[in-house]
Amino acid sequence: MLEMSRRTVLGSAAAAVAFGLASKLEMSVPAFAAPADEPAIGFYRYHVGDIEVTAIYDGIWRKPHDPAFIKNASIEETKAALAKANLPTEFMPIPLTVLVLKVGGRLIAMDAGSGVGQWQANATHLPGNMAAAGIDHKKIDAVMISHFHPDHVWGLMEKGTNELVFPNAELVVQAAEYNWWTEPGRIEKLAQGRRPAGKRIADVFPKWKNWKLVEDGAEVAPGIELISAPGHTPGHSTYLVSSGSHQLLVSADIMYVPALLAPHPEWQGSYDQDGPLAIASRRKMIDRVIADKIAICGSHFPFPGSGSFVKDGNAYAFAPTIQV
Ligand SMILES: [Zn+2]
């Protein structure tokens, strides 16, 4: 099983290079046999020009099928899309990957992960895999946050105490996202199901002193630009990472599960707060990465989360750069 995974990685290294991602075989192997829908390795390292990227596996949400998950598609249609992408159909597979970039001498996390069982009981792997990759969470200099959904920010804080997991990191987020969630009276305006998360954000985040609120287009680190892509949340942000002639768009949740949304970019997830705006942002960003030949990764793409899109009529086709 492990040998097969290694061969898969080796076989796809050429593909990674073709998309401008200089691939390097450096990975961790867990001591246990990984379930079939979880990767056999915990982290994967590649380069975007001079920037070192470590993609770290956090876990997977095996979400029970729910007719409300996609507002304008049936369970049968979502199952058919999964099957077409060779994914399991017994549940909705939502894996989670977090990137850590080494830019100059600085360590920059792209989102914070889901916080050891604070999102899903079996999404617990980030701290162990980060340590296995040789990354000390106390040495993370900055966290670039895409949006305030639990799978992206609960990893900022310890369960129970809400202590900072990255105590020395500046927390960078688009002002529109921070201000929306912490606005007085916000919790009461949230849908019932979102209120516990909204309350935790409102209670804890404003107490921290290490926030840096930025606007669309800000250069948040050398070679890293925040590009607003609202709809999923009001201040949902992507980050364009550039070094030399190489570029990678850290796209967070604009394409969510590409097996569903690449062939059906007009599908509206119940998780998209403003469905039509999310669709417009999705099309705008994916059209741009195709036109400009930019590599792309997404938080919920199959691990290690990078891939490429091509036009397919009025929709898209997705291919992972590598599969492990
Ligand atoms: Zn997410």
pLDDT at 261 over 70: yes
pTM assigned to the model: 0.90
Cα–Cα dist 282/261, whole Å: 9
pLDDT at 10 over 60: no
Ligand 1 centroid distance, CA of 237 (Å): 12
Ligand 1 centroid distance, CA of 136 (Å): 24
Cα–Cα dist 247/241, whole Å: 6
Amino acid of residue 252: A
Ligand 1 centroid distance, CA of 149 (Å): 7
173-194, pLDDT tens digit by residue?
999 999 999 999 999 999 898 9
179-215 in b/e burial notation, b at 16+ Cβ within 10 A? ebbbeeebbeebeeebeebbebbbeebeeeeeeeebe
CATH number of the structural domain 4-322: 3.60.15.10
Peptide bond into 234 cis (omega under 30): no
Ligand 1 centroid distance, CA of 285 (Å): 17
Neighbours of 279 (CB within 10 A): 18
pLDDT at 110 over 70: yes
pLDDT at 2 over 50: no
Give Dmax (Cα) for the chain: 54
